[in-house]
Chains A and B, each alone.
Chain A
């Protein structure tokens, strides 16, 4: 069956460091992979989409990589700030979308 795993439930880092979150998947051949941010009690907010033929994508302090051989995406936040504290979700599929369980990131001042 199709499975999406995010490396850990929680990640704590110090302000200014780079946060790296992992998304692994099995039994998928996705054309796209998306990353979302979710704050408690609120709807997910789209951050980045990366296509299968793209190795890397950047947006401001965010960087996403996509390795279809390893079936893995890495999500990096550089120069992290306490305001980056949230749960980050990866998602696969197009309209029939499936989400990972998320990684709760805490950035400490």
Chain B
């Protein structure tokens, strides 16, 4: 079954405590992305990756890091989380045909 998985699904943390949200896809897709979704602001892209070791900034990259060392994994790293990073985060993957983009189930993050 085509799948994008994210972990954890829910996370409460405190300001400044580094965290990583993992993302994995089983479709051998080249393209992967991270989005955040906030009420009134919609889905905004944080980072995307076109292949292993190739990443680029989306619209809201400040305060986030990513890495793509393997094709299937694309972790999102918050080195020093702040309360304004409280949000719902989605990972997504897409093949080279620009067809279906698959989204993960989301990670709800609360930074106190």
Contact = CB atoms under 8 A, between A and B. Distances in A.
Interface stretch (B12-20, B62-70, B74-82, B102-110): B102-110
Interface stretch (A16-24, A58-66, A89-97): A89-97
Interface residues of A, number: 20
Contact of B48 (A41, A42, A44, A96): A96
Contacts, number: 52
Helix, strand, loop or mixed for chain A's interface? loop
Interface size class of B (residues with CB under 8 A): 20 to 34
Given A95-B33, A96-B58, A49 B43 contact: no
Given A44-B43, A96-B56, 15 more contacts: A31-B98, A43-B4, A43-B90, A46-B100, A95-B31, A95-B48, A96-B48, A96-B58, A97-B33, A97-B48, A97-B101, A98-B44, A99-B35, A99-B43, A101-B41
22 contacts: A31-B98, A41-B88, A42-B106, A43-B92, A43-B104, A43-B105, A44-B103, A45-B103, A46-B100, A89-B42, A95-B33, A95-B48, A95-B94, A96-B48, A97-B48, A98-B44, A98-B45, A99-B42, A99-B43, A100-B42, A101-B40, A102-B42
